[in-house]
Amino acid sequence: MDIRTLAHHLGLSIGTVSRALNGKKDVNPETRRRVIEAATVHGYTANQSGRSLRRGRTGSVGFMLTLEHDSAAHGDPFFMALFEGVQAGLAEEDVDLIVLLAREGEDQLDFLRRNVSRGIADAWLLSATQREDPRIPFLLAKNIPFVTLGRSASGGPQPWIDLNFEDLVQTAITRFLAQGHDRIGLVAPPSTVNNSFVVIDAYRETLRAADIAVDERLIQQGGGDEIAGSLAVEALMCLDEPPSAILVMGETAPVGVYTGLRKLGLVPGSDISVIGARANPSTSALQPALTCFRLELRDLGLGLARALLPRLRDAAAPPTSATHTLWPLVLSVGNSEVRRQIP
């Protein structure tokens, strides 16, 4: 039933029915009660397209996702748990979440520009931020509200929430050093995402602060899946001076690292120390239990939504540096580390 039919059924004008449904104060309370009751009984729903045109808003936020960085493809529900929190946060303002998936290999700016031109969403959440990310200056120039999951060197005062990779790396490397390791390998994210640069910089700085020379051969960049983890550990252990400890940053890469080490006859936690980045279903089954970091994804999603809502309420309000947040991770100690015997 549309509003015209509903008005005819009640013997009221369309304007009166519209004002009653929208809670306008100039409508008699008894009339409002009749309208709402009839709308419920007869299954009336508002024409959202018409409403959006009149208001100039869609009531939706777009989350741009790319297949290359969708960890669900590797058995990790990172984004599904994150979306739950985002949607819960947006619901506080009666705003819906729309997830838009770019094709593998598709230019991210072209994808975003196309969907912005279609007016699909009032605001955007971006993931997989690049070192120089053209999506950021594009949205800033158009004054479209947005928040990124991850930092970037692009644009002006861009609003972002990022995991505290600096603290994660420093905590892991400091643990290795305390165990007597001075040859520490790093399996870093691919160079296509900005957090790879953040992680590598933190790795170098932590070693230098401990007066340990940085051997660039101990840094392996690649994807975050099992294959990448296996290839990285193979390359590391083929060095003339292989590492005695490895920090693994990929989502499911620790599974590949464990597999690669065992193929070489090495046991994590006995022959070599391993620390992973984020605990997830694939790493929870590893034996020995992996030392890694825990993250409440729903809370992170809520944080993203609540960082965006002030700009949704007032799109003209400029983003400020106050919207920059480093999100903490909590260390969870397993049995994958070994103290080195120092002569």
- pLDDT tens digit string along 133-169? 999 999 998 889 999 999 998 867 778 999 999 999 9
pLDDT, mean of residues 200-220? 97
- Whether 265 has a pLDDT exceeding 50, the answer reads yes
Q: What percentage of the chain reaches a pLDDT higher than 70? A: 90
Give yes or no for a cis peptide into 318 (omega within 30° of 0).
no
H or E element, residue 292: strand 291-294
Sheet holding 219-221, edge to edge: 219-221, 184-188, 245-248, 273-278, 291-294, 330-332
Higher pLDDT, residue 22 or 8: 8
pLDDT, mean of residues 189-215? 94
- Whether 57 has a pLDDT exceeding 60, the answer reads yes
In angstroms, the CA 299 to CA 313 distance is 21
Question: Quick check: 135 and 157 in contact, CB under 8 A?
Answer: no
134: left (phi over 0), alpha (psi -120 to 50) or beta: alpha
In angstroms, the CA 140 to CA 146 distance is 8
Question: Quick check: 231 and 222 in contact, CB under 8 A?
Answer: yes
pTM above 0.95, yes or no: no
- Whether 50 has a pLDDT exceeding 60, the answer reads no
- Tens digit of each residue's pLDDT (9 = 90 or more) over 111-129: 999 999 999 999 999 998 9
In angstroms, the CA 272 to CA 247 distance is 11
pLDDT, mean of residues 282-305? 94
**What was the pLDDT predicted at 310?**
85
Helices (runs of H) and strands (runs of E) counted in the chain: 13, 12
Residues 6+ apart with CB under 8 A from 321: 157
- Whether 176 has a pLDDT exceeding 50, the answer reads yes
Higher pLDDT, residue 68 or 233: 233
In angstroms, the CA 269 to CA 290 distance is 9
Higher pLDDT, residue 78 or 87: 87
Higher pLDDT, residue 342 or 84: 84
pLDDT, mean of residues 269-288? 93
Residue 141 one-letter amino acid = A
DSSP state of 92: G
H helix runs in the chain, sequence order: 3-10, 14-21, 29-42, 48-55, 78-90, 108-117, 135-141, 165-178, 194-209, 226-237, 253-263, 281-284, 297-313
In angstroms, the CA 40 to CA 74 distance is 44
**What was the pLDDT predicted at 128?**
87
- Tens digit of each residue's pLDDT (9 = 90 or more) over 317-340: 665 545 789 999 999 999 999 998
Burial level of 43, CB count in 10 A (0-12/13-18/19+)? exposed
Cα distance between the two ends of the chain? 83
229: tokens are: 């983890």
- Whether 232 has a pLDDT exceeding 70, the answer reads yes
pLDDT, mean of residues 243-261? 94
**What was the pLDDT predicted at 105?**
79
